[in-house]
Chains A and B, each alone.
Chain A
Amino acid sequence: MPTKEIAGTTIDVTEEGFLTDRSQWSRDLAGALATEEGIELTDEHWKVIDFITADFQEKQAVPGMRRMNKVGGIPTKDLYRLFPNGPIKKAARISGFPKPASCV
Protein backbone atom coordinates (compact mmCIF):
# COMPACT_ATOMS: atom_id res chain seq x y z
CA MET A 1 0.00 0.00 0.00
CA PRO A 2 1.30 3.43 -0.90
CA THR A 3 1.84 6.13 1.69
CA LYS A 4 1.44 9.81 1.19
CA GLU A 5 2.75 13.02 2.78
CA ILE A 6 0.02 15.53 3.44
CA ALA A 7 -0.71 18.28 5.95
CA GLY A 8 2.52 17.52 7.80
CA THR A 9 1.83 13.79 8.36
CA THR A 10 2.19 10.50 6.55
CA ILE A 11 -0.96 8.55 5.75
CA ASP A 12 -1.61 5.08 4.35
CA VAL A 13 -3.82 5.15 1.28
CA THR A 14 -5.11 2.95 -1.53
CA GLU A 15 -4.06 3.46 -5.17
CA GLU A 16 -7.00 5.81 -5.49
CA GLY A 17 -6.07 7.83 -2.42
CA PHE A 18 -8.60 6.46 0.08
CA LEU A 19 -7.34 6.16 3.66
CA THR A 20 -6.75 2.59 4.80
CA ASP A 21 -6.52 3.46 8.49
CA ARG A 22 -9.23 5.80 9.69
CA SER A 23 -7.34 6.49 12.92
CA GLN A 24 -5.01 8.64 10.81
CA TRP A 25 -7.90 10.93 9.94
CA SER A 26 -8.32 14.36 11.48
CA ARG A 27 -10.34 17.45 10.69
CA ASP A 28 -7.20 19.15 9.41
CA LEU A 29 -6.47 16.22 7.16
CA ALA A 30 -10.02 16.45 5.76
CA GLY A 31 -9.29 20.05 4.85
CA ALA A 32 -6.10 19.05 3.03
CA LEU A 33 -7.79 16.17 1.18
CA ALA A 34 -10.55 18.56 0.13
CA THR A 35 -8.04 21.07 -1.18
CA GLU A 36 -6.67 18.34 -3.44
CA GLU A 37 -10.16 18.03 -4.91
CA GLY A 38 -10.37 21.79 -5.33
CA ILE A 39 -12.90 22.07 -2.52
CA GLU A 40 -12.79 24.45 0.41
CA LEU A 41 -14.72 22.99 3.33
CA THR A 42 -17.63 25.02 4.68
CA ASP A 43 -20.22 24.23 7.36
CA GLU A 44 -22.38 22.66 4.67
CA HIS A 45 -19.57 20.29 3.75
CA TRP A 46 -19.04 19.43 7.38
CA LYS A 47 -22.69 18.54 7.76
CA VAL A 48 -22.17 15.91 5.06
CA ILE A 49 -18.88 14.64 6.51
CA ASP A 50 -20.35 14.40 10.00
CA PHE A 51 -23.35 12.48 8.70
CA ILE A 52 -21.13 10.01 6.81
CA THR A 53 -19.00 9.54 9.94
CA ALA A 54 -21.96 8.88 12.21
CA ASP A 55 -23.67 6.65 9.68
CA PHE A 56 -20.52 4.63 9.02
CA GLN A 57 -20.27 3.85 12.70
CA GLU A 58 -23.79 2.49 12.63
CA LYS A 59 -23.75 0.65 9.29
CA GLN A 60 -20.09 -0.06 8.55
CA ALA A 61 -20.67 1.39 5.09
CA VAL A 62 -20.58 4.74 3.35
CA PRO A 63 -24.20 5.86 2.87
CA GLY A 64 -25.52 6.03 -0.69
CA MET A 65 -27.24 9.00 -2.27
CA ARG A 66 -30.71 7.99 -1.19
CA ARG A 67 -29.64 7.42 2.39
CA MET A 68 -27.98 10.83 2.42
CA ASN A 69 -31.32 12.32 1.28
CA LYS A 70 -33.68 10.38 3.45
CA VAL A 71 -31.73 9.78 6.63
CA GLY A 72 -29.20 12.60 6.45
CA GLY A 73 -31.63 15.18 5.08
CA ILE A 74 -29.17 16.31 2.42
CA PRO A 75 -30.69 16.81 -1.05
CA THR A 76 -28.89 15.32 -4.06
CA LYS A 77 -28.68 18.75 -5.71
CA ASP A 78 -26.68 20.06 -2.74
CA LEU A 79 -24.35 17.07 -2.81
CA TYR A 80 -23.51 17.72 -6.45
CA ARG A 81 -22.96 21.40 -5.69
CA LEU A 82 -20.73 20.71 -2.68
CA PHE A 83 -18.76 17.79 -4.11
CA PRO A 84 -18.96 18.10 -7.92
CA ASN A 85 -18.34 15.01 -10.12
CA GLY A 86 -19.01 11.93 -8.05
CA PRO A 87 -20.14 13.41 -4.73
CA ILE A 88 -20.32 10.16 -2.76
CA LYS A 89 -16.86 9.03 -3.77
CA LYS A 90 -15.35 12.44 -3.04
CA ALA A 91 -17.12 12.94 0.25
CA ALA A 92 -16.10 9.44 1.35
CA ARG A 93 -12.44 10.12 0.55
CA ILE A 94 -12.42 13.43 2.37
CA SER A 95 -14.17 11.83 5.35
CA GLY A 96 -11.43 9.20 5.50
CA PHE A 97 -13.58 6.18 4.61
CA PRO A 98 -13.05 3.47 2.00
CA LYS A 99 -14.23 3.90 -1.56
CA PRO A 100 -17.94 3.06 -1.51
CA ALA A 101 -18.46 -0.48 -2.78
CA SER A 102 -20.79 -0.41 -5.74
CA CYS A 103 -23.83 -2.50 -5.16
CA VAL A 104 -24.26 -5.92 -6.69
Chain B
Amino acid sequence: MKKVLILGAGTAGTIMANTLSRKAGKEWDITIIDQAEEHYYQPGFLFMPFEVYTEKDVVKRRQKFLPSRAEYKQAKLDRILPDENKVLLEGGAEEKYDILIISTGCGVAPDEVEGMTGSDWGKKSHDFYTFEGASKLTNAMKNWEGGRLVINIAEMPIKCPVAPLEFAFLADWYLTKKGVRDKTEIVYVTPLSGAFTKPIASAILNHLLEEKQINVVQDFSIGEVDNESHKIVSWDQREVEYDMLVAVPPNMGDELIERSDMGDELNFVPTNRDTMQAKAADNIFVIGDATDLPTSKAGSVAHFEAEVLTGNILSYMKEEEMEERFDGHANCFIESGFGKGFLLDFNYEQEPVPGHFPFPHVGPFGLLSQTRINHIGKLAFKYIYWHMLLKGYPIPFVDHKMSYMGKKVARTVS
Protein backbone atom coordinates (compact mmCIF):
# COMPACT_ATOMS: atom_id res chain seq x y z
CA MET B 1 0.00 0.00 0.00
CA LYS B 2 1.04 3.54 -0.66
CA LYS B 3 0.24 6.44 1.59
CA VAL B 4 -1.04 10.01 1.29
CA LEU B 5 -0.37 11.89 4.49
CA ILE B 6 -2.31 15.10 5.17
CA LEU B 7 -0.95 17.51 7.76
CA GLY B 8 -3.69 19.61 9.38
CA ALA B 9 -7.42 18.84 9.32
CA GLY B 10 -8.76 22.37 9.01
CA THR B 11 -10.69 23.65 6.01
CA ALA B 12 -8.23 22.55 3.32
CA GLY B 13 -7.05 19.28 4.87
CA THR B 14 -10.61 18.12 5.54
CA ILE B 15 -11.66 18.85 1.95
CA MET B 16 -8.66 16.95 0.58
CA ALA B 17 -9.31 13.94 2.83
CA ASN B 18 -12.88 13.83 1.54
CA THR B 19 -12.15 14.24 -2.18
CA LEU B 20 -9.25 11.79 -2.15
CA SER B 21 -11.30 9.25 -0.22
CA ARG B 22 -13.86 9.35 -3.01
CA LYS B 23 -11.41 9.34 -5.89
CA ALA B 24 -8.04 7.79 -5.06
CA GLY B 25 -7.34 4.20 -6.17
CA LYS B 26 -7.73 1.36 -3.65
CA GLU B 27 -3.98 0.93 -3.33
CA TRP B 28 -3.78 4.25 -1.47
CA ASP B 29 -4.05 4.69 2.29
CA ILE B 30 -5.05 8.12 3.54
CA THR B 31 -3.94 9.43 6.92
CA ILE B 32 -4.73 12.86 8.32
CA ILE B 33 -3.23 14.42 11.44
CA ASP B 34 -4.29 17.38 13.55
CA GLN B 35 -3.41 18.59 17.02
CA ALA B 36 -6.86 19.51 18.28
CA GLU B 37 -10.20 17.77 18.59
CA GLU B 38 -12.31 20.77 17.61
CA HIS B 39 -12.83 22.17 14.14
CA TYR B 40 -13.50 25.91 14.16
CA TYR B 41 -15.52 27.77 11.56
CA GLN B 42 -13.17 30.75 11.57
CA PRO B 43 -15.30 33.08 9.42
CA GLY B 44 -17.81 32.90 12.30
CA PHE B 45 -15.34 34.53 14.72
CA LEU B 46 -16.13 37.85 13.03
CA PHE B 47 -19.78 37.61 14.04
CA MET B 48 -19.33 36.56 17.68
CA PRO B 49 -18.50 40.02 19.10
CA PHE B 50 -21.75 41.31 17.60
CA GLU B 51 -23.83 38.53 19.14
CA VAL B 52 -24.82 37.14 15.74
CA TYR B 53 -23.09 33.80 16.37
CA THR B 54 -22.20 31.97 19.56
CA GLU B 55 -19.90 29.07 20.33
CA LYS B 56 -22.28 26.42 18.94
CA ASP B 57 -22.22 28.06 15.50
CA VAL B 58 -18.47 27.99 15.18
CA VAL B 59 -17.15 24.87 16.95
CA LYS B 60 -17.76 21.23 16.04
CA ARG B 61 -16.00 17.93 16.53
CA ARG B 62 -13.38 17.53 13.83
CA GLN B 63 -13.89 13.84 13.17
CA LYS B 64 -17.52 14.33 12.19
CA PHE B 65 -16.31 15.90 8.95
CA LEU B 66 -13.64 13.38 8.07
CA PRO B 67 -14.35 10.37 5.84
CA SER B 68 -14.23 6.84 7.28
CA ARG B 69 -11.70 5.79 4.68
CA ALA B 70 -9.12 8.18 6.08
CA GLU B 71 -7.35 7.35 9.32
CA TYR B 72 -7.41 10.29 11.74
CA LYS B 73 -4.64 10.76 14.26
CA GLN B 74 -4.54 13.44 16.89
CA ALA B 75 -0.98 14.61 17.44
CA LYS B 76 1.17 17.69 17.33
CA LEU B 77 3.44 17.71 14.31
CA ASP B 78 7.08 18.28 15.07
CA ARG B 79 8.82 18.37 11.71
CA ILE B 80 8.86 17.27 8.10
CA LEU B 81 11.91 15.47 6.74
CA PRO B 82 11.42 15.81 2.96
CA ASP B 83 14.59 13.90 2.08
CA GLU B 84 13.41 10.86 4.02
CA ASN B 85 9.73 11.09 3.07
CA LYS B 86 8.67 11.14 6.68
CA VAL B 87 7.16 13.35 9.34
CA LEU B 88 8.03 13.36 13.03
CA LEU B 89 5.28 13.74 15.61
CA GLU B 90 5.73 15.22 19.03
CA GLY B 91 6.57 12.45 21.44
CA GLY B 92 8.79 10.60 19.00
CA ALA B 93 6.43 8.71 16.67
CA GLU B 94 6.94 9.02 12.92
CA GLU B 95 4.83 8.71 9.80
CA LYS B 96 6.11 7.76 6.37
CA TYR B 97 4.47 8.98 3.20
CA ASP B 98 4.53 8.67 -0.57
CA ILE B 99 2.60 11.90 -1.06
CA LEU B 100 2.46 14.65 1.53
CA ILE B 101 -0.13 17.43 1.68
CA ILE B 102 0.68 20.39 3.89
CA SER B 103 -2.48 22.12 5.11
CA THR B 104 -1.42 23.51 8.45
CA GLY B 105 -2.88 26.96 7.77
CA CYS B 106 -1.68 30.06 9.55
CA GLY B 107 -2.25 31.67 12.90
CA VAL B 108 -1.77 34.96 14.68
CA ALA B 109 1.57 35.94 16.20
CA PRO B 110 0.90 38.85 18.58
CA ASP B 111 4.35 38.46 20.14
CA GLU B 112 5.85 39.69 16.90
CA VAL B 113 4.73 43.25 17.75
CA GLU B 114 6.44 44.89 20.68
CA GLY B 115 4.03 45.35 23.59
CA MET B 116 1.07 43.69 21.91
CA THR B 117 0.78 41.01 24.56
CA GLY B 118 1.43 43.53 27.36
CA SER B 119 -0.87 44.47 30.25
CA ASP B 120 -3.73 45.65 28.01
CA TRP B 121 -3.92 42.32 26.15
CA GLY B 122 -7.25 40.64 26.84
CA LYS B 123 -8.45 43.76 28.69
CA LYS B 124 -8.29 46.88 26.54
CA SER B 125 -6.76 45.18 23.54
CA HIS B 126 -8.19 42.13 21.78
CA ASP B 127 -8.08 40.02 18.67
CA PHE B 128 -10.89 38.25 16.86
CA TYR B 129 -8.78 35.86 14.76
CA THR B 130 -8.87 33.16 17.43
CA PHE B 131 -11.78 31.62 19.30
CA GLU B 132 -10.42 32.75 22.67
CA GLY B 133 -9.83 36.28 21.37
CA ALA B 134 -13.28 36.54 19.83
CA SER B 135 -14.87 35.27 23.06
CA LYS B 136 -13.16 37.90 25.21
CA LEU B 137 -13.95 40.59 22.70
CA THR B 138 -17.61 39.59 22.81
CA ASN B 139 -17.75 40.57 26.48
CA ALA B 140 -15.80 43.75 25.90
CA MET B 141 -18.22 44.81 23.17
CA LYS B 142 -21.22 44.01 25.37
CA ASN B 143 -19.88 46.27 28.11
CA TRP B 144 -18.72 49.05 25.82
CA GLU B 145 -20.08 52.47 26.74
CA GLY B 146 -18.22 54.67 24.30
CA GLY B 147 -14.80 56.09 23.56
CA ARG B 148 -12.29 55.46 20.83
CA LEU B 149 -12.43 52.04 19.20
CA VAL B 150 -9.30 51.42 17.15
CA ILE B 151 -9.05 48.57 14.62
CA ASN B 152 -5.50 47.88 13.49
CA ILE B 153 -3.95 45.54 10.94
CA ALA B 154 -0.31 44.98 11.89
CA GLU B 155 0.96 43.80 8.52
CA MET B 156 -0.08 42.00 5.37
CA PRO B 157 -0.76 39.29 4.39
CA ILE B 158 -3.56 38.25 6.76
CA LYS B 159 -6.18 35.59 6.29
CA CYS B 160 -9.46 36.91 5.00
CA PRO B 161 -8.00 40.36 4.27
CA VAL B 162 -11.43 42.01 4.37
CA ALA B 163 -12.37 40.74 7.85
CA PRO B 164 -10.96 43.80 9.70
CA LEU B 165 -12.97 46.09 7.44
CA GLU B 166 -16.08 44.03 8.07
CA PHE B 167 -15.38 44.33 11.76
CA ALA B 168 -15.47 48.13 11.39
CA PHE B 169 -18.74 48.05 9.45
CA LEU B 170 -20.37 45.64 11.89
CA ALA B 171 -19.18 47.68 14.89
CA ASP B 172 -20.84 50.74 13.35
CA TRP B 173 -24.10 48.77 13.04
CA TYR B 174 -23.91 47.05 16.44
CA LEU B 175 -23.06 50.18 18.38
CA THR B 176 -25.82 52.12 16.59
CA LYS B 177 -28.25 49.39 17.60
CA LYS B 178 -27.00 49.59 21.19
CA GLY B 179 -27.38 53.38 21.17
CA VAL B 180 -23.70 54.14 21.85
CA ARG B 181 -22.49 54.86 18.30
CA ASP B 182 -22.67 58.64 18.89
CA LYS B 183 -20.38 58.20 21.90
CA THR B 184 -17.92 56.11 19.88
CA GLU B 185 -15.22 57.15 17.48
CA ILE B 186 -14.28 54.26 15.19
CA VAL B 187 -10.77 54.49 13.74
CA TYR B 188 -9.48 52.06 11.12
CA VAL B 189 -5.68 51.96 11.09
CA THR B 190 -4.10 50.12 8.17
CA PRO B 191 -0.60 49.60 6.72
CA LEU B 192 -2.12 49.88 3.23
CA SER B 193 -2.72 53.11 1.33
CA GLY B 194 -6.47 52.51 1.31
CA ALA B 195 -9.23 50.16 2.44
CA PHE B 196 -8.26 47.15 0.32
CA THR B 197 -5.31 45.82 -1.62
CA LYS B 198 -6.91 46.17 -5.06
CA PRO B 199 -7.61 49.66 -6.50
CA ILE B 200 -11.22 49.54 -7.72
CA ALA B 201 -12.56 47.71 -4.67
CA SER B 202 -10.50 50.01 -2.47
CA ALA B 203 -12.08 53.16 -3.92
CA ILE B 204 -15.60 51.83 -3.39
CA LEU B 205 -14.88 50.64 0.15
CA ASN B 206 -13.12 53.89 1.09
CA HIS B 207 -16.26 55.72 0.12
CA LEU B 208 -18.33 53.47 2.36
CA LEU B 209 -16.01 54.06 5.31
CA GLU B 210 -16.49 57.77 4.85
CA GLU B 211 -20.26 57.41 4.66
CA LYS B 212 -20.26 55.47 7.93
CA GLN B 213 -18.00 58.07 9.55
CA ILE B 214 -15.25 55.59 10.22
CA ASN B 215 -11.95 57.46 10.32
CA VAL B 216 -9.08 55.94 8.40
CA VAL B 217 -5.40 56.21 9.23
CA GLN B 218 -3.45 54.72 6.34
CA ASP B 219 0.18 53.78 5.62
CA PHE B 220 0.51 53.04 9.34
CA SER B 221 3.04 50.35 10.04
CA ILE B 222 2.80 49.45 13.73
CA GLY B 223 6.05 49.38 15.71
CA GLU B 224 4.71 49.13 19.24
CA VAL B 225 1.69 48.97 21.54
CA ASP B 226 2.19 51.34 24.47
CA ASN B 227 0.19 49.74 27.31
CA GLU B 228 0.88 52.61 29.75
CA SER B 229 -0.70 55.37 27.73
CA HIS B 230 -2.93 53.05 25.66
CA LYS B 231 -1.75 53.95 22.21
CA ILE B 232 -0.27 52.31 19.17
CA VAL B 233 2.88 53.83 17.74
CA SER B 234 4.08 53.47 14.15
CA TRP B 235 7.69 53.01 13.06
CA ASP B 236 7.65 56.61 11.86
CA GLN B 237 6.46 57.78 15.30
CA ARG B 238 2.81 58.45 14.59
CA GLU B 239 0.48 57.67 17.50
CA VAL B 240 -3.14 56.59 17.79
CA GLU B 241 -4.71 56.43 21.24
CA TYR B 242 -7.33 53.81 22.03
CA ASP B 243 -9.94 53.01 24.64
CA MET B 244 -10.29 49.63 22.99
CA LEU B 245 -7.86 48.17 20.51
CA VAL B 246 -9.01 45.46 18.13
CA ALA B 247 -5.69 44.16 16.88
CA VAL B 248 -5.10 41.94 13.89
CA PRO B 249 -1.61 40.61 14.73
CA PRO B 250 0.83 39.39 12.07
CA ASN B 251 -0.33 36.10 10.53
CA MET B 252 2.28 33.39 10.24
CA GLY B 253 2.47 29.80 9.14
CA ASP B 254 2.88 27.17 11.87
CA GLU B 255 6.26 26.79 13.60
CA LEU B 256 6.36 23.26 12.23
CA ILE B 257 7.30 24.85 8.90
CA GLU B 258 10.14 26.79 10.48
CA ARG B 259 11.39 23.72 12.36
CA SER B 260 11.38 21.86 9.03
CA ASP B 261 13.24 24.75 7.41
CA MET B 262 10.66 24.78 4.63
CA GLY B 263 9.21 28.28 4.90
CA ASP B 264 9.82 31.90 4.02
CA GLU B 265 10.20 34.67 6.59
CA LEU B 266 6.56 34.26 7.66
CA ASN B 267 6.70 30.43 7.67
CA PHE B 268 4.67 30.22 4.48
CA VAL B 269 5.71 27.38 2.20
CA PRO B 270 7.06 28.38 -1.25
CA THR B 271 4.57 26.79 -3.64
CA ASN B 272 4.28 26.43 -7.40
CA ARG B 273 1.36 28.74 -8.18
CA ASP B 274 0.04 26.55 -11.00
CA THR B 275 0.43 22.95 -9.80
CA MET B 276 0.49 23.68 -6.04
CA GLN B 277 3.55 21.52 -5.52
CA ALA B 278 6.00 22.61 -2.86
CA LYS B 279 9.10 24.01 -4.52
CA ALA B 280 11.14 21.85 -2.14
CA ALA B 281 9.96 18.42 -3.38
CA ASP B 282 7.78 16.94 -6.13
CA ASN B 283 5.81 14.66 -3.83
CA ILE B 284 4.84 17.45 -1.42
CA PHE B 285 1.78 19.58 -2.13
CA VAL B 286 0.61 22.67 -0.26
CA ILE B 287 -2.90 24.05 0.07
CA GLY B 288 -4.82 26.76 1.91
CA ASP B 289 -3.36 29.40 4.19
CA ALA B 290 -0.04 27.54 4.44
CA THR B 291 1.07 28.49 0.90
CA ASP B 292 2.94 31.63 -0.14
CA LEU B 293 0.68 32.11 -3.18
CA PRO B 294 -0.32 35.66 -4.10
CA THR B 295 -4.04 35.23 -3.57
CA SER B 296 -6.30 35.70 -0.54
CA LYS B 297 -5.96 33.35 2.40
CA ALA B 298 -9.59 32.28 2.60
CA GLY B 299 -11.78 29.22 2.95
CA SER B 300 -13.30 29.86 -0.46
CA VAL B 301 -9.81 29.88 -1.96
CA ALA B 302 -8.92 26.61 -0.20
CA HIS B 303 -12.05 25.14 -1.75
CA PHE B 304 -11.09 26.25 -5.28
CA GLU B 305 -7.53 25.07 -4.74
CA ALA B 306 -8.79 21.68 -3.60
CA GLU B 307 -10.49 21.03 -6.94
CA VAL B 308 -7.21 21.71 -8.73
CA LEU B 309 -5.09 19.83 -6.25
CA THR B 310 -7.32 16.75 -6.28
CA GLY B 311 -6.96 16.53 -10.06
CA ASN B 312 -3.21 16.99 -9.88
CA ILE B 313 -2.68 14.45 -7.13
CA LEU B 314 -4.77 11.85 -8.99
CA SER B 315 -2.55 12.44 -12.04
CA TYR B 316 0.56 12.25 -9.90
CA MET B 317 -0.62 8.93 -8.42
CA LYS B 318 -0.99 7.55 -11.94
CA GLU B 319 2.33 9.05 -12.98
CA GLU B 320 0.57 11.21 -15.54
CA GLU B 321 1.14 14.83 -16.45
CA MET B 322 -0.52 17.25 -14.00
CA GLU B 323 -2.94 19.25 -16.06
CA GLU B 324 -4.93 21.29 -13.59
CA ARG B 325 -3.83 24.89 -13.08
CA PHE B 326 -4.82 27.14 -10.23
CA ASP B 327 -5.64 30.71 -11.35
CA GLY B 328 -5.78 32.33 -7.91
CA HIS B 329 -9.58 32.48 -7.88
CA ALA B 330 -10.98 34.09 -4.72
CA ASN B 331 -14.59 34.84 -3.94
CA CYS B 332 -15.55 36.65 -0.78
CA PHE B 333 -18.59 38.21 0.73
CA ILE B 334 -17.97 41.40 2.67
CA GLU B 335 -20.43 42.13 5.43
CA SER B 336 -21.12 45.88 5.48
CA GLY B 337 -23.57 46.14 8.37
CA PHE B 338 -27.31 46.90 8.61
CA GLY B 339 -28.14 43.63 6.85
CA LYS B 340 -26.16 44.32 3.71
CA GLY B 341 -23.05 43.01 2.08
CA PHE B 342 -20.68 43.10 -0.88
CA LEU B 343 -19.24 40.34 -3.02
CA LEU B 344 -15.73 40.31 -4.46
CA ASP B 345 -14.63 37.82 -7.12
CA PHE B 346 -11.07 37.91 -8.46
CA ASN B 347 -7.91 35.96 -9.33
CA TYR B 348 -4.14 36.37 -9.81
CA GLU B 349 -4.68 38.64 -12.82
CA GLN B 350 -8.12 40.21 -12.53
CA GLU B 351 -8.83 42.60 -9.67
CA PRO B 352 -12.40 42.80 -8.26
CA VAL B 353 -14.71 44.90 -10.46
CA PRO B 354 -18.44 45.71 -10.41
CA GLY B 355 -20.96 43.40 -12.12
CA HIS B 356 -23.21 40.46 -11.33
CA PHE B 357 -22.48 36.96 -10.04
CA PRO B 358 -22.63 34.18 -11.09
CA PHE B 359 -24.99 35.04 -13.98
CA PRO B 360 -24.39 38.17 -16.12
CA HIS B 361 -27.05 40.91 -15.62
CA VAL B 362 -29.08 38.62 -13.35
CA GLY B 363 -26.93 37.88 -10.36
CA PRO B 364 -28.49 37.25 -7.91
CA PHE B 365 -25.37 38.55 -6.19
CA GLY B 366 -24.10 42.04 -6.98
CA LEU B 367 -20.34 42.29 -7.43
CA LEU B 368 -18.91 45.24 -5.58
CA SER B 369 -22.34 46.65 -4.83
CA GLN B 370 -24.05 46.72 -1.48
CA THR B 371 -27.11 44.49 -1.40
CA ARG B 372 -29.22 42.53 1.05
CA ILE B 373 -28.77 39.28 -0.86
CA ASN B 374 -24.99 39.52 -0.45
CA HIS B 375 -25.52 39.66 3.30
CA ILE B 376 -27.71 36.59 3.09
CA GLY B 377 -25.01 34.95 0.99
CA LYS B 378 -22.49 35.62 3.74
CA LEU B 379 -24.68 34.06 6.41
CA ALA B 380 -25.49 31.12 4.11
CA PHE B 381 -21.76 30.50 3.90
CA LYS B 382 -21.88 28.94 7.36
CA TYR B 383 -24.33 26.29 6.16
CA ILE B 384 -22.40 25.74 2.95
CA TYR B 385 -19.16 25.46 4.91
CA TRP B 386 -20.27 22.75 7.32
CA HIS B 387 -22.43 20.80 4.87
CA MET B 388 -20.88 21.15 1.41
CA LEU B 389 -17.54 22.88 1.37
CA LEU B 390 -15.78 20.61 3.88
CA LYS B 391 -17.09 17.56 2.00
CA GLY B 392 -15.42 18.93 -1.11
CA TYR B 393 -18.65 19.09 -3.11
CA PRO B 394 -18.66 21.72 -5.84
CA ILE B 395 -20.55 24.88 -4.87
CA PRO B 396 -23.42 25.31 -7.38
CA PHE B 397 -22.49 27.48 -10.37
CA VAL B 398 -19.12 28.49 -8.98
CA ASP B 399 -16.11 27.00 -10.75
CA HIS B 400 -12.54 26.94 -9.52
CA LYS B 401 -11.62 28.92 -12.63
CA MET B 402 -12.75 32.51 -12.28
CA SER B 403 -15.34 33.52 -14.88
CA TYR B 404 -15.20 36.86 -16.65
CA MET B 405 -18.90 36.67 -17.41
CA GLY B 406 -20.94 39.41 -15.76
CA LYS B 407 -17.86 41.40 -14.79
CA LYS B 408 -17.47 45.00 -15.90
CA VAL B 409 -13.87 44.73 -16.98
CA ALA B 410 -12.31 47.74 -18.68
CA ARG B 411 -10.85 46.64 -22.02
CA THR B 412 -7.34 47.84 -22.52
CA VAL B 413 -6.37 48.66 -26.08
CA SER B 414 -2.81 47.77 -26.81
Contacts and interface: CB of A to CB of B under 8 A. Distances in A.
Given A65-B221, A84-B236, A103-B197, A70 B265 contact: yes
B265 A104 contact: no
B161 A76 contact: no
Given A66-B155, A102-B197, A71 B236 contact: no
A85 B219 CA distance: 9
B266 interface: yes
Contacts of B133: none
Contacts of B330: 104
Nearest to B199: A102
A65 B161 CA distance: 18
A80 B235 contact: yes
A65 B222 CA distance: 12
A32 B265 CA distance: 32
Contacts, number: 41
Contact of B223 (A66, A76, A85): A76
Interface string A61-75: 000111101110000
Contact of A66 (B193, B266, B296): B266
A80 B236 contact: yes
A104 B157 contact: yes
Contacts of B157: 103-104
Given A80-B235, A103-B197, A67 B264 contact: yes
Contacts of A67: 264-265
Interface string B180-220: 00000000000011000110000000000000000000010
A86 interface: yes
Contacts of A103: 156-157, 161, 197, 294
Interface string B271-303: 000000000000000000000001110000000
Contacts of B155: 64-66
A102 B156 CA distance: 8
A64 B294 CA distance: 14
Interface of B: 155-157, 161, 192-193, 197-198, 219, 221, 223, 235-236, 250, 264-266, 294-296, 330
6 contacts: A66-B265, A67-B265, A80-B235, A104-B197, A104-B294, A104-B330
Given A103-B294, A104-B198, 6 more contacts: A65-B221, A66-B265, A80-B236, A84-B236, A102-B156, A104-B295
Interface of A: 64-67, 69-71, 76-77, 80, 84-86, 101-104
